Chain A
Amino acid sequence: MTEFTKPFDSSWQAYLLLVPTFAVLIAFLYYPAVETFRLSLYQTLLLGTQKAFVGLENFKILATSPEYQRSFVISFAFAAFVVVGTLVVSLFVSYLLFEVSRGTSSYLVAAIWPYALPTAVAATVLMFLMHPTLGVITHYLEALTGIELDWFTSGPLAFVVVGLVAIWKQLGYNIIFLVAALNNIPETLTESAKLDGVGRLKMLYKVYVPLISPTMVFLVVMDTIYAFFQTFPMVDLMTSGGPSGATNLLIYKLYRDAFEFNSLGKASAESIILFVIVAILMYVQLRVSESYTHYGA
């Protein structure tokens, strides 16, 4: 990064330029976030018209609620499923892209387009194609393998189906970063291994994966955040959290507690728990990228 003496030194002008950004951030991000903290200490009664200070009671209720505990565990399991699934598939596709087209991008757009796929669209399309009775995919899957994809009644199947939708949508984003990371590897690092006749698969996990591990960590963090925060439309459109809570992710539960049951205090406490999760993930990302800085420019 170039060092230069800054050309302008009028502080008030600088602050003036920052005012619009600050106004928005304070009004719509910091203030509501602080309010969330405050609200999480209250119990709301009578459809939110009254509230009473209860301290950490909301957190205690959540911690001891079997429903919330289940939702918590399911969300982590879901995140793990989505992260692993997305990374495995996109690593495979990215490696193929990298091998056939070092430098060119002929296939690239055809592989990254799911980045533009709206979550609600992904959910709607796969919901139909994997529909237990009408779905083409369901039909041929059963014809070929005998697996009955009855995810309207089976919790585990619903979990998997929603997970597949989440993976599908997230592939584009992952492939973008993985291809970039692979292309950034200096050719000299891999040429000697190639000359030694190291097989392609072995190259992938012995040479490439270690070299792009900073990117992989970054993607693990981003995909986890995605699995926790961006998956609301899938649950809302496909399962409404069911069957019997099998896809009741934290984000969906938060929505219902807040806007269906009007338990604003409890919902705020749930928001705080989500905040802690993002904070931890971001912290991990920061630490890891710091310890890997010797890789980058």
Chain B
Amino acid sequence: MATNTESTAATARPELSDYLSDDLVIHGLLVFSIVLMGLPLILAVVMSTQTPSEVYEVTNVGIGSQGLANYQTALGEYNLGQYMWNSFVMASIIVVGKVALSLLAALALVYYRFPYERAVFMFILLTLLLPVPVRIVPLFQLMADLGWANSMLSITGPYIASATAVFLFRQHFMSIPASLVDNARLDGVGPFTFLVKVLIPMSKGMIAGVSVITFIYAWNQYLWPLVVISAQEKQVVQVGIRYLQGASQSGLTQWGLIMAGAVLALIPPLLVLVVLHRPLLKTFAIQQK
């Protein structure tokens, strides 16, 4: 498309070569920027194969002699496998819980007539003003009182309701043509059938998008698990990386091992993003409106 319009514009004037070289420059700049953005990650992957002594030779940026051994050590000896599993369970529970609860809430908000609709919606939206740090001290105490400290409940429960997800599903439901809803009324379709047979199949993209956003968000949690989980074996992988920092071998910090841990902690959300970037982008497009 772009090349088309540009070349037509260009042939009209004597600057075809200008435009072509211009285009090359743009591609060049773009590749350069993308490489620059990815460079730290590439270096991290390379370094994750090095032994501490190789790491300490600063100018050595080649593949090291450890191969994948650092990954093995991180996953096994340093328990990163356990932490990643914990993170995975946490993120999955949050995704499923948040999607389910938000679908139900949006169903009520969009398709039910009930008193104080607006107030209810505002009540949900206002929680956007309450990120974890704003309520962290009492929340911590609440977890202790409930006996939830050090449990999966404590790192999932507070996250499974969300203003953003309710808002997104609500927007999406409202964009479903009114006549489809009228039709359901003429047929006397009940709310449960309507949700399962009509709304959910028609919201697959949005559900995928919300799931990706939620998964990446949940996987990224750091402060709250750090505060509320003190038993190491229950910890999530982001905080698990912190434990790796103490790892040293004959006085040398095991940076290769740490890099392996960092790369491991990045893989799941990165995979999710690459595979599901389309629904994610669509969902963001709606969120901003």
Contact = CB atoms under 8 A, between A and B. Distances in A.
**Direct contact between the two chains A and B in their complex (CB within 8 A):** yes
B70 to A, nearest CB: 13
B30 A97 contact: yes
B37 A2 contact: no
A21 B274 contact: no
A3 B110 CA distance: 10
Contacts of A110: 34, 38
Size category of the binding interface on chain A = 35 or more
Given A15-B114, A118-B266, A278-B129, A271 B2 contact: no
A275 B194 contact: no
B222 interface: yes
Given A21-B101, A102-B2, A33 B277 contact: no
B113 A93 contact: no
A265 to B, nearest CB: 9
Name the residue in A121, A133, A168 with the highest tally of chain B Cβ atoms < 10 Å from its Cβ.
A121
Interface in B50-103: 55-56, 58-59, 61, 100-102
Contacts of A24: 101, 157-158, 160-161
Contacts of A187: 5
A64 B285 CA distance: 44
A35 interface: yes
Interface residues of B, number: 110
A32 B101 contact: no
Report whether over half of chain A's contact residues are helix, strand or loop; otherwise say mixed: helix
Interface in B157-177: 157-158, 160-161, 166, 174-177
Given A28-B157, A278-B131, A254 B111 contact: no
Contacts of A218: 288
B43 interface: yes
Interface string B165-198: 0100000001111100110110001010010000
A74 interface: no
A83 interface: no
Question: Binding site of B, secondary structure by majority: helix, strand, loop or mixed?
Answer: helix
B216 A115 contact: yes
Contacts of A23: 161
Contact of B274 (A3, A113, A271): A113
B178 A32 contact: no
Given A4-B182, A100-B30, A118-B266, A195 B9 contact: yes
A284 interface: no
A21 B191 contact: no
Given A2-B177, A119-B220, 5 more contacts: A7-B111, A14-B112, A100-B30, A125-B40, A177-B288
Interface of A: 1-11, 13-15, 17-18, 20-25, 27-33, 35-36, 39, 89, 92-93, 96-97, 99-104, 107-121, 124-126, 128-129, 131, 133-137, 139, 168, 171, 176-177, 180, 187, 191, 194-195, 197, 200, 215, 218, 225, 229, 232-233, 236-237, 251, 254-255, 258-259, 264, 267-268, 271-272, 274-275, 278-279, 282, 296-297
